[in-house]
Amino acid sequence: MNEKMILDIHDLDISFKTTAGNVHAIRGINIDLEKGETVAIVGESGSGKSVTMKAAMGILAKNATVNSGKIEFKYSNEQGEQVVDILQKDKRWIRKHINGKRIAMVFQDPMTSLDPTMTIGKQLMEGLLWHFDISKEEAKNRSISLLKEVGINDAEKRMKQYPHQLSGGMRQRVVIAIALSCNPDLLICDEPTTALDVTIQAKIIELIKKVQEERGISVIYITHDLGVVAKVADYVNVMYAGKIVEKGTINEIFYDPRHPYTWGLLSAMPDLSTDDPRLYTIPGSPPNLLNEKPGDAFAPRNKFALEIDDKLEPPMFKVTDTHYAATWLLDERAPKVEMPKELRERLDRMKKEAAEYGSEL
């Protein structure tokens, strides 16, 4: 673990026991995150994005087994800097030292993630009173200033209200305030805008960006919305069937994607500046992880698949120091395959537009 690293997930492998059999949901994942950075994890539903993050929070479902791997987390306390492997710690320890206090989570649906029978104020103060030795009065004052920080007007009044009295966007702000309440070092956002109105989405993303800058915390975004990724992330991990298939900086993933799955995801983004009325989708559906097959899990849906894809899983090929992709197309013996022409044109256009407006993306 280097100096600035805060989270290092190494070779994580998780399976779930179900009545139908063992589901191998996470198959050797590596993710690292430095202080102040934003990493996005992108992939279809069921690719294992949320499971990975729940493992880091120690809130995996009871039927989950961690087969191997490490989740190293660095934090500082009175004794100086500490590095722990979260997977080695028991639930009690994680609850006391990690959950809410150092790693906090923002959930997908603010309509269901707040307790309907408890006031906003109580839900906010709960974590504060639990982790810190402070008076109720102090907790209340801190909660009010938190609500103000996340952009909620008349915070005092809101403290006494119940979740059903707030709009969806407002509730997500409350959820973010709860997550920030104990000053975490790492914020995990599990599809924070998926359940929200489009008009609210941008505001919530702006809010998360703002608090990240102000507090200097690291953020992990779990999402399938590449539009969100483009706005917020420094690094992107593309996940498929419990594996990371491509990782790189935001520019590398958006302008120079190498994995056919990433090509598919990018092509599937709606685009207004094309004459083609059709919306591209990736053919087929994600594999059932109940019955694992040899070879690349994406091969059956991949029109660029090679013969070897059915036999052997591709390793991570290095493209640059920060850019890796797990596809046999990058092997030197593979035939030269370019990304689809339409996508190439689209990415070039995006790049040109970005340059015109003077931003990276």
Partner 1 sequence: MKKYVLKRVLTSIGTLLAIVLVLFILMHLMPGSPFNDEKLTDVQREVIYAKYGLDDPIVVQFGRYVVNMCKGDFGVSYKISKNTPISQLIETRLPISIGIGFYAVARGAVIGLILGLLAALKRDTIIDTVCTIVSVIGVSVPSYVFALGLSYTLGFKWKIFPMLYDSADALGSSVMPSIALSMFTMASIARFTRTEMIEVLGSEYMLLAESKGLSGTKLIFTHALRNALIPIITVLAPLVVDLMTGSLVVEKIFAIPGVGSLLVNAIQSNDYNVVIALSFIYSAMYIVIMLVVDILYGIIDPRIRLGKEGD
Query: Residues interacting with partner 1, by CB under 8 A?
Result: 57, 59, 92, 94-96, 98-101, 104-105, 107-109, 112-119, 123, 126-127, 130-131, 161-162, 164-165, 175, 178
Nearer to partner 1 by Cβ, of 1 and 118: the residue is: 118
Q: How far apart are CA 87 and CA 67, in angstroms?
A: 11
4 close to 35: Cβ distance less than 8 angstroms? yes
Least distance from C-beta 208 to partner 1, angstroms? 16
Q: How far apart are CA 224 and CA 216, in angstroms?
A: 25
Nearer to partner 1 by Cβ, of 30 and 161: the residue is: 161
CB-CB neighbours of 272 under 10 Å: 4
Least distance from C-beta 347 to partner 1, angstroms? 36
Nearer to partner 1 by Cβ, of 114 and 326: the residue is: 114
Least distance from C-beta 104 to partner 1, angstroms? 7
Least distance from C-beta 322 to partner 1, angstroms? 30
Least distance from C-beta 161 to partner 1, angstroms? 7
Supply φ then ψ for residue 179, to 5 degrees. -60, -35
Q: How far apart are CA 173 and CA 170, in angstroms?
A: 5
Q: Which two tokens stand for residue 61?
A: 């479902």
Q: How far apart are CA 229 and CA 209, in angstroms?
A: 12
Least distance from C-beta 50 to partner 1, angstroms? 10
Q: How far apart are CA 300 and CA 51, in angstroms?
A: 24
Q: How far apart are CA 26 and CA 47, in angstroms?
A: 8
- Start-to-end CA distance of the chain, whole Å, equals 30
Give how far Cα 288 sits from Cα of 24, 291, 313, Å. 9, 6, 16
Nearer to partner 1 by Cβ, of 75 and 255: the residue is: 75
Least distance from C-beta 68 to partner 1, angstroms? 24
Q: Which two tokens stand for residue 24?
A: 């191998």
What b/e string do you get for 316-349 counting C-beta neighbours within 10 Å, with b at 16 or more?
Answer: bbebeeebbbbbbbbeeeeeeeebbeebeebbee
Nearer to partner 1 by Cβ, of 30 and 119: the residue is: 119
Among residues 10, 98, 84, the alpha carbon closest in space to that of 52 is found at 10
Q: Which two tokens stand for residue 68?
A: 């191997």
Least distance from C-beta 25 to partner 1, angstroms? 17
| 188: CB partners within 8 A, 6+ apart | 53, 56, 57, 103, 104, 105, 106, 219, 220, 222
Least distance from C-beta 27 to partner 1, angstroms? 24
